């Protein structure tokens, strides 16, 4: 099966999950996670009509960007070291992994030098797994309040990674809790933080994430195949 055929299947599944939950497919942006893909496979992704690509390692991503970049919209989805911000800031349109003040400070510094405003997702460790990055849900509110001083960061939403489980249904409470947190924070009406987006759902669990309100899906293996 080609990447294009897999994408058709994925799109079908998204449409079905939308129908089930009273949502519209247009509300959802698919970020094709290309971290394990060759340049040829990435070209197939673009040819299939996918315009958003996600990478999680700065060095690998930059090499690919040099070859393929420019036209597509690039998302940085992995843990971001502060000393790498200067390399990614003017190439990646979105950052999905803002999870600490020191990183925000560095993004602010670099973005302001380039005259850019960077839409960022605040990464939340909803499941509490020690292996996962992200803020504790209770820390998010004060973190967002502190971001007000950073004029070049737009906190557009929250991001989480669900635990890897056999039965994707088990991820539902994690996604539901991120949605709940979003609604609570939106209720505060922060002028600097729209928080309208939810980046959640990967190959294993994206239909559940759609049902629970995801607006950005990060999909790798279900497009690439194994
Ligand atoms: C690799 C990765 C994904 C995609 O995972 P798949 O299971 O291959 O869809 C999504 N988000 C992040 C942060 C990743 O590192």
Q: What does the block give as tokens for 190?
A: 């922060």
Q: Is 226's pLDDT higher than 80?
A: no
Looking at residue 76, what is its pLDDT?
98
Give how many domains the chain has, as a whole number.
1
* Cα 134 → chain centroid: 13
Length reported for the chain: 226
**In this prediction, what percent of the chain has a pLDDT beyond 90?**
96
Look at the pTM and tell me if it is higher than 0.95: yes
How far apart, in Å, are the Cα atoms of 59 and each of 56, 65, 66, 186? 9, 10, 11, 35
Q: Which atom of ligand 1 is nearest to the CA of 221?
A: 8
Average pLDDT, the chain: 97
Collapse the DSSP code of 122 into the 3-class scheme (helix H, G, I; strand E, B; otherwise coil) and give the result. Answer: strand
Question: In the numeric block, which tokens belong to residue 22?
Answer: 């009273």
d(CA 61, CA 89): 12
Distances (CA, A) of 55 to 77, 80, 100, 108: 6, 11, 20, 21
What atom in ligand 1 is closest to the CA of residue 202? 9
How far, in Å, is the centroid of ligand 1 from the Cα of 16? 22
Domain CATH code at residue 154: 3.20.20.10
Q: What's the gap in Å between 120 CA and the centre of ligand 1?
A: 17
Distance of CA 72 to the CA centre of its chain: 15
Tell which one of 55, 165, 202 to mutate to probe ligand 1, the residue whose CB is within 8 A of the most ligand atoms: 202
Alpha carbons 226 and 162: distance in angstroms, whole number: 20
Cβ-based neighbours of 173, under 8 Å, separated by 6 or more: none
CA of 179 to the centre of ligand 1 (A): 20
Six-digit token pair at 214? 């995801």
Would you call 37 helix, strand, or coil by DSSP?
coil
150-200 per-position pLDDT tens digit: 999 999 999 999 999 999 999 999 999 999 999 999 999 999 999 999 999
Whether the CB-CB separation of 61 and 55 falls below 8 Å is answered with yes
pLDDT of residue 137: 97
- Reading the block at residue 106, the tokens are 């560095």
The string of pLDDT tens digits covering residues 116-161 is: 999 999 999 999 998 899 999 999 999 999 999 999 999 999 999 9
For residue 69, the model assigns a pLDDT of 83
What radius of gyration do the chain's Cα atoms show? 17
Domain of 54 in residue numbering reads as 3-224
Confidence of residue 71 (pLDDT cuts 50, 70, 90): confident
End-to-end alpha-carbon separation of the chain, Å?
11
């Amino acid at each position: 099966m080609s990447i294009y055929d897999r994408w058709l299947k994925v799109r079908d599944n998204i449409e079905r999950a939308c129908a089930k939950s009273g949502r519209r497919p247009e509300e959802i942006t698919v970020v094709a996670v290309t971290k394990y893909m060759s340049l040829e496979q990435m070209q197939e992704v673009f040819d299939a009509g996918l315009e958003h690509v996600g990478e999680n390692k700065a060095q690998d991503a930059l090499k690919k960007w040099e070859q393929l970049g420019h036209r597509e919209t690039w998302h940085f989805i992995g843990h971001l070291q502060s000393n790498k911000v200067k390399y990614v800031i003017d190439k990646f349109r979105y950052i999905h992994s803002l999870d600490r003040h020191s990183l925000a400070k560095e993004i602010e510094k670099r973005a302001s030098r380039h005259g850019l405003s960077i839409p960022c997702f605040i990464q939340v460790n909803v499941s509490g797994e020690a292996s996962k990055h992200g803020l504790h849900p209770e820390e998010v509110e004060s973190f967002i309040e502190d971001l007000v001083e950073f004029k070049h960061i737009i906190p557009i939403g929250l991001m989480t990674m669900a635990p890897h489980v056999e039965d994707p249904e088990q991820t539902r409470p994690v996604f539901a809790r991120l949605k709940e947190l979003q609604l609570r924070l939106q209720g505060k009406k922060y002028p600097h933080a729209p928080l309208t987006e939810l980046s959640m759902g990967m190959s294993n669990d994206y239909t559940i994430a759609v049902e629970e309100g995801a607006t950005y899906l990060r999909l790798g293996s279900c497009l690439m195949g194994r």
